[in-house]
């Protein structure tokens, strides 16, 4: 598995227009074949999935963007970072890379983007995987709404935010021996004044209406819900509701996993992805 620095070095960049802003989008790409797009949530980046893509890249073209405002994508303080805007980014990226129809794997906010995209473009998403995804009015959670207050950007230094993120991941990764490389990979992109402001703006862009306005019953893609059962942020009851609303849907609950499922249970995550997307 690549280190975060190796991952970042291997990323490519393209420009996508989002609401009149030409924004730089960093993405990691590997493999050939039919495309699979992965999308992370807050406060992570595409490195979240670094442990789970190996089986797919042998047969598929795997694309993992950093959402705008996140990771190594553009972080300037002049554009929307909401999941509505991230859907526009994905629309532009799919078109720019000539992907056509795709499979989509989304975690947390990335799952909310996947729900929107699969609902709005039902003929372009064949398979949808949602992992501890935001949906309905399950979000934002208090830690994110507090972080999104404008004064958070003025009152917190990069060191303050690094400490907060360190505590967050150490407190919510499952088990007593967290992956240090994973934690550093999640924290590093925010370690600057611009990064602090970008994270606060991302938190402030969490808008419940951007999921409540979407009816999951409009999703026609075959759907897999890969859910960490110990999640305190997006409890499994939201997955159970999605399972009832999406016609072709399977819920797989993963024991010994909190919110960060690709990091907590990478082997199981890989196995279920391969079964669902490759078989």
CATH number reported for the structural domain that contains residue 42 in this entry = 3.40.50.1820
**Span 88-97, mean pLDDT?**
98
Rounded to two decimals, what is the model's pTM?
0.98
Distance CA 206, CA 208 (A): 7
Q: Is the pLDDT of residue 114 over 90?
A: yes
Query: pLDDT by residue (tens digit) across 172-188?
Result: 999 989 999 999 999 99
Q: Is the pLDDT of residue 96 over 90?
A: yes
Q: pLDDT averaged over the chain?
A: 97
Identify the pLDDT of residue 279.
84
Q: Is the pLDDT of residue 206 over 90?
A: yes
Torsion over CA: 211, 258, 10, 199 (sign): positive
For residue 238, the enclosing domain spans: 4-278
Count the domains in the chain. 1
């Amino acid at each position: 598995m690549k280190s975060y620095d190796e991952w970042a070095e291997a990323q490519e960049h393209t420009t996508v227009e989002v609401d009149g802003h030409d924004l730089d989008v960093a993405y990691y790409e590997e493999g050939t074949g039919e495309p699979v797009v992965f999308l992370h949530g807050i406060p992570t980046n595409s490195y979240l999935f670094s442990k789970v893509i190996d089986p797919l890249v042998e047969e598929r073209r795997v694309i993992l963007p950093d959402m705008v405002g996140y990771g190594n994508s553009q972080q300037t303080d002049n554009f929307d970072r909401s999941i509505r805007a991230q859907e526009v980014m994905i629309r532009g990226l799919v078109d720019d890379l000539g992907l056509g129809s795709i499979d989509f794997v989304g975690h947390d906010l990335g799952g909310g983007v996947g729900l929107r995209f699969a609902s709005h473009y039902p003929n372009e998403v064949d398979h949808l995987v949602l992992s501890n995804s935001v949906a309905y009015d399950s979000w934002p959670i208090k830690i994110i709404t507090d972080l999104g207050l404008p004064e958070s950007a003025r009152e917190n230094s990069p060191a303050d935010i690094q400490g907060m993120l360190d505590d967050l991941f150490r407190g919510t990764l499952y088990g007593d021996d967290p992956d240090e490389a994973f934690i550093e990979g999640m924290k590093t992109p925010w370690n600057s004044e611009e990064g602090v402001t970008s994270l606060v703006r991302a938190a402030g862009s969490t808008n419940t209406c951007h999921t409540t306005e979407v009816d999951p019953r409009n999703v026609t893609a075959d759907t897999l819900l890969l859910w960490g059962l110990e999640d305190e942020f997006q409890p499994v009851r939201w997955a159970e509701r999605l399972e009832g609303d999406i016609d072709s849907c399977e819920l797989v609950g993963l024991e010994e996993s909190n919110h960060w499922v690709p990091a907590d249970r990478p082997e199981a995550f890989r196995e279920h992805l391969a079964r669902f997307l490759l078989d």
